[in-house]
Amino acid sequence: MFDFLSPLLALFVVVAIYLRQREESGLFGGVAFVVMFIGLALVVSLDYFGAFIRLQLPEVIAEQLMEGPSGTVVAVSALIFLLGEIMLGISVVRAGVFSKIAAVFFMIGLIPVPLAGVFPDSVVAIGSIAAGVGLIWWGTDLYRLAGSESERAIR
């Protein structure tokens, strides 16, 4: 269930990050946002299937699904997500609006997540935690920046 909720809520964070830094991040930031959003939407779809549908299927059928073209779709979705998260992290670093350290936590932390079959579960878990730290850090940056901008708008 958390595998589904995490990327679902991340869609909102990605939109907020992009909207706040869209001028500073330029064209690259816009492209990074689109790739990241598509990658997250694909992951949300896969995680929804995994959390609510796959568990109800007989194991033989679930395995057969991953052996056919569906397995290729999962791999392509993972690669789009991986490309998007790296591009978004780079755009955050380049724009200079949000914490660069948080961007590094986000980028490096999420690298093993779509490659879960390649990395041990412990590395994926540590990466997820690191990425979560980056997202929480960005969330506090967003909150802080929203407060300072609303004060400025009142004056």
SS3 content of the chain, % helix, strand, coil (to 5): 90, 0, 10
Residue type, 16: A
Query: Measured between alpha carbons, how far is 56 from 62 in angstroms, rounded to an integer?
Result: 9
Query: Measured between alpha carbons, how far is 49 from 32 in angstroms, rounded to an integer?
Result: 26
Whole-number pLDDT of residue 150: 56
Mean pLDDT of the chain: 90
Domains: count for the chain: 1
- The yes-or-no verdict on residue 31 having pLDDT over 80 is yes
Tens digits of residue pLDDT in 109-139: 999 988 988 999 999 999 999 999 999 999 9
Instruction: Look up the domain containing 9 and give its range.
Output: 2-154
pTM for the whole structure: 0.87
Query: Would you say 11 and 44 are in contact if contact means Cβ atoms under 8 Å apart?
Result: yes
Tens digits of residue pLDDT in 97-109: 999 999 999 999 9
